[in-house]
Amino acid sequence: MNSVCLTVLNMSLAGAFAIGVIMLARLALTRFRAPKAISCLLWTVALFNLLCPFKLESALSLNPLGEKAVSEDIDLGRNLTPAFAISASLESIGDFLNGGHGTVIAAMDKNPDGSWHVTEAFHKQVWFTVFRLYIWPVGAAFMLLHGVFAYWRLKRRVRFAVRSSDGVYETDRINSPFVLGFISPRIYLPSGIGQPHREHVINHEQTHIRRNDCIVAAVAYATLAIHWFNPLVWAAYYLMLHDMESSCDEAVLRDSNTDIRRDYSLALLSVASNQKRLPIPLAFGEAGVKQRVVDVLRFRKPERAVVAVAAIAAIALAIGLSVKPENGNISSALERAEQASPQETSAPYSIEFQTELSVKTAPDRYSRLMSSVPGIHLGIEGQFEEASNIRYEAESGAFVLWEGATVTSLGNSAERPLSETGSVYWTPDSATKDGDAVAVSVVNGIGEIPVQETMAVDIQDYWYSLMPTSKALAPRGN
């Protein structure tokens, strides 16, 4: 479930970016009176971003977000019981509001021996775990059940509809026309719609059927159920339904041999529905009727040049939003440079490599009783040879490795590869006294120490800090 939720979050971020771009493009298309069918094409690109976790890499990508915009370390990897989920969430919120260190103690599911698994977790890890275990699946299940129930209720409402001579079904239990069904969709009309309104309504709904809009709307609602937590997806859903309705309006007006704008607008107004329900079916009178009437009265057949330019721009935008950015452009260029044949020189040469080291400590003050982290984090920055290691030495206390929910002791002297130094902390012990030295050194590929940074322990009222010093280190044995 954790990998599924992470995938959904990453797709939701990519989809949100695509939706924002499409909204801006939609404004431009409306400004130049381009056909609404082009906007509908762009909404399918948003659906693709929200549903497909895999995309091709391309330099043409317009989306700066990769497939893993949300890091995997946001997840604790274990489950929280409902009671512990509530308590951990409240504790995390309280710690955040009180300016805490950003972590809380969370009791998770049981270990194989029956004991509770207790860990220290960052706020974002607690909130994400609660979200993926309870909030997101409950919301998605509610949306899907709501949609199924609404569809079933509508089917029951029209089960006694009577088929008329022109192949549509009529009933007095509805007040707005719509298309219902996926494999063999049917057109349902309220009883009593006369000509010429009836002809316009049927032409509109038949356009929906020819375009398979019922299937597209169902896929869009399922997408909304998956991404219910994303407000941009809600906005895209309603805008897409509106554009689908407006596109069918334009198709009917465009295919007519006479000017039917006035009669068509009256047909819209005559079947306008005031129902407050989730719009599962594509209903003729239910998607922004007021704006659609205005659009119908202002309708002009678009110029071919406008259609061509808009279509080309939309296709280019669709391609750019459907691929992901290339990874490692800089590193690929470096690799190509390294693989290139070196130029011949008349004499050998050497380059002196300058090693630099900077140790960033956090938090500034640490207490074994009050702090929620296992010690003072030793952040390594600088310029190093590729084969360098980092050596940690301390006169007192110990170094620990904190990875996810696991804290591993490294003793008071340890050496680790440069790539594995991100989670090393120094923690004091009962023997630690004011002025004790803690040293971090760079060890190059031949065992030399080109640079070292030494810090002295500063103790104030049971709070420990590491301050830069020139004191020489005299490490004790393990």
At 237 the pLDDT is 94
Q: Do 431 and 305 reside in the same domain of the chain?
A: no
Residue 271 within a domain: no
Q: Do 140 and 236 reside in the same domain of the chain?
A: yes
Tokens 């452009």 label which residue? Answer: 329
At 350 the pLDDT is 40
Q: Do 16 and 135 reside in the same domain of the chain?
A: yes
Q: Tell me the residue length of the chain.
A: 478
CATH at 374? 2.60.40
Q: Do 437 and 303 reside in the same domain of the chain?
A: no
Residue 338 within a domain: no
At 243 the pLDDT is 93
Q: Is 337 exposed, middle or buried (0-12, 13-18, 19+ CB in 10 A)?
A: exposed
Q: Do 380 and 247 reside in the same domain of the chain?
A: no
Q: How high is the mean pLDDT in each 10-residue block of the chain (478 residues)? A: 79 93 94 91 94 87 73 58 64 64 57 54 68 88 92 89 86 87 88 84 92 91 95 94 92 90 88 52 63 88 90 94 70 43 41 67 79 80 74 90 79 83 82 90 82 89 85 59
Q: Do 217 and 300 reside in the same domain of the chain?
A: yes
Q: Do 312 and 376 reside in the same domain of the chain?
A: no
Residue 183 within a domain: no
Q: Do 375 and 312 reside in the same domain of the chain?
A: no
Q: Do 367 and 458 reside in the same domain of the chain?
A: yes
Region of 414 on the Ramachandran plot (φ > 0 left; ψ -120 to 50 alpha; else beta): beta
**Positions of E strands within 349-450:** 356-362, 376-383, 389-394, 398-403, 406-411, 413-417, 424-427, 437-443
Q: Do 313 and 370 reside in the same domain of the chain?
A: no
Residue 278 within a domain: no
Domain that residue 210 falls in: 2-72+131-162+205-254+286-322
User: Cβ(104)–Cβ(90) under 8 Å?
Assistant: no
At 476 the pLDDT is 52
Residue 261 within a domain: no
Residue 170 within a domain: no
Give me the number of domains the chain comprises. 2
At 164 the pLDDT is 86
Q: 173: helix, coil or strand?
A: coil
| Domain termination residue (choose one: 302, 322, 342) | 322
At 177 the pLDDT is 87
The answer, as to whether pTM is greater than 0.75, is no
Q: Do 234 and 149 reside in the same domain of the chain?
A: yes
Residue 296 within a domain: yes
Q: Do 314 and 209 reside in the same domain of the chain?
A: yes
Other CB atoms closer than 10 Å to residue 474's CB: what's the count? 9
